[in-house]
Amino acid sequence: MVTIKDVAERAGVSISTVSRVVNGTAKVKGTKHEAVLKAMGELNYQPSSVARALVGNRSSMIGLVVHDLADPFFGSLARGVTAQAAASGLQTMTTEGQHRAELEAAAIRSLISRRCDGIVVHTLALSNQELLDAIGDCPAVIVNRKVPGIEDRCLWFDNRLTGYLAASHLLEKGHRCIGWIGRNEDISDNRDRFSGFCKALEEVGVDGTAAPQQSGAATAEGGYQAALELLKKHPDLTAIQAYNDVMAAGCLRALHERDYRLPDDFSVIGVDDVFLGQFVYPQLTTVRYPIEEIGRTAVRMIEGLLADKPVDKGAEFQPAGFQPQLVVRDSVSCWADVSG
């Protein structure tokens, strides 16, 4: 490994001088300047980010904790974080939490021990207190979760409204026998979306909590299994609202297998608007969560945190900017018996 010392020696100057031309922190006279540049080129010198991080106490790295990199939701999140970080000359380091408390904590701690300048965290298994303990005083932005005490560093969304919007759309289209497919884990996202679902149903005089429901793993496979089960138990259903798009994709697969003609025979709606939704058939109607944009915003917030203490999401980060929004595509059709 060629070090700054090698360059200095070759150029016949001190290491301070080399450092100065590398970083442009001070002027160095013409002849020496060139000599250094030449030596750097000849040796193919590459400053050690490690040494820099040690002395500067900053690493130009943003840490990211996600559940599973192969899940399109997190792929988009990673994309957003990486892109925005890159725009500021920062690199991203991603770790998986796998939805297990000890792994999530280890992931965060390790990112901190690497002296990431800031971290973007998506966790589910950790309790609020555990999460707070793990992040300590590291500049962190929590995605998709509202942690009491540090709300100003959280980006969360109105999951209740999200569920409400989706259900309302189904109701508007005349559906009354709607099933709910949720995820296994008892997390607030799931509860809130279901609660919004119930609220919409109540508004038209249906008891949502009594609606047919089934839960499964938050994967396409989970959605598939749940849908099969639900269809078996409730042949009268005309529509399903799923926890998210990935599960909804699983539902569609189940429906195709059972030879439903889609979307005429049955409607499905999801949440998230992941890439996948545009390539299932019928294209998925969903409620949009601007995931990539959320990743970008998280990084911007960290940059703010780094620049000046006062935390401030600023005008452009208004939660209002992230209102869930219905995206109408093809997977929801009017139900023939529409009465209104």
Shortest Å, Cβ 134 to DNA: 17
Shortest Å, Cβ 104 to its own copies: 13
Question: Which amino acid belongs to residue 112?
Answer: I
DSSP symbols for 54-97 = HHHS--SEEEEEES-TTSHHHHHHHHHHHHHHHHTT-EEEEEE-
Shortest Å, Cβ 287 to its own copies: 19
Interface positions, 65-84, toward DNA (CB under 7 A): none
Shortest Å, Cβ 236 to its own copies: 24
Q: Please state whether beta strands 91-96 and 61-66 pair in parallel, antiparallel, or not at all (unpaired).
A: parallel
Q: Judged by CB, which is closer to DNA: 88, or 98? A: 88
Shortest Å, Cβ 22 to its own copies: 12
Residue 73 interacts with which of DNA, its own copies, none, CB < 5 to 8 Å by class: none
Instruction: For residue 17, state whether it binds DNA (rule: CB under 7 A).
Output: yes
Instruction: Indicate if the alpha-carbon torsion angle 256, 262, 265, 266 is positive or negative.
Output: positive
Interface positions, 166-205, toward DNA (CB under 7 A): none
3-class SS shares of the chain: helix, strand, coil, % to 5: 50, 15, 35
Q: Please state whether beta strands 239-242 and 178-183 pair in parallel, antiparallel, or not at all (unpaired).
A: parallel
Shortest Å, Cβ 65 to its own copies: 11
Nearest to 114 by CA among 98, 91, 85: 91
Rounded (10°) CA dihedral 220, 225, 227, 231: 160
Q: Judged by CB, which is closer to its own copies: 88, or 188? A: 88
Residue 117 interacts with which of DNA, its own copies, none, CB < 5 to 8 Å by class: none
Residue 311 interacts with which of its own copies, DNA, none, CB < 5 to 8 Å by class: none
Asked, as a colleague might, if the bond just before 263 is cis with ω within 30 of 0, I would say: yes
Shortest Å, Cβ 42 to DNA: 15
Instruction: For residue 99, state whether it binds its own copies (rule: CB under 8 A).
Output: no
Question: Which amino acid belongs to residue 320?
Answer: A
Residues 6+ apart with CB under 8 A from 151: none
Nearest to 31 by CA among 12, 7, 50: 12
Instruction: For residue 92, state whether it binds its own copies (rule: CB under 8 A).
Output: yes
Instruction: For residue 126, state whether it binds its own copies (rule: CB under 8 A).
Output: no
Instruction: For residue 22, state whether it binds DNA (rule: CB under 7 A).
Output: yes
Instruction: For residue 54, state whether it binds its own copies (rule: CB under 8 A).
Output: yes
Angle between the 15-23 and 4-11 helix axes, to the nearest 10 degrees? 110
Residue 292 interacts with which of its own copies, DNA, none, CB < 5 to 8 Å by class: its own copies
The H or E element that residue 190 is part of is helix 188-203
**Which of 24, 27, 30, 113 lies at the binding interface for its own copies (CB under 8 A)?**
113
Compute how many other C-beta atoms are within 10 angstroms of the C-beta atom of residue 24: 8
Distance of CA 130 to the CA centre of its chain: 20
Q: Judged by CB, which is closer to its own copies: 40, or 220? A: 220
Q: Are 225 and 250 in contact (CB under 8 A)?
A: yes
**Which of 37, 43, 47, 109 lies at the binding interface for DNA (CB under 7 A)?**
47
Shortest Å, Cβ 47 to DNA: 4
Instruction: For residue 115, state whether it binds its own copies (rule: CB under 8 A).
Output: yes
Kindly list the residues in this chain that would bind its own copies in the complex (CB under 8 A): 1, 44, 46-51, 53-54, 57, 59, 61, 68-72, 74-76, 78-79, 82-83, 86, 91-96, 109-110, 112-115, 136, 220, 249-250, 252-253, 256, 262, 275-276, 278-283, 292
- Summarize as ranges the residues that interact with DNA (CB under 7 A): 1, 3-5, 13-17, 19-20, 22-23, 25-29, 32-33, 45-48, 50-52, 54-57
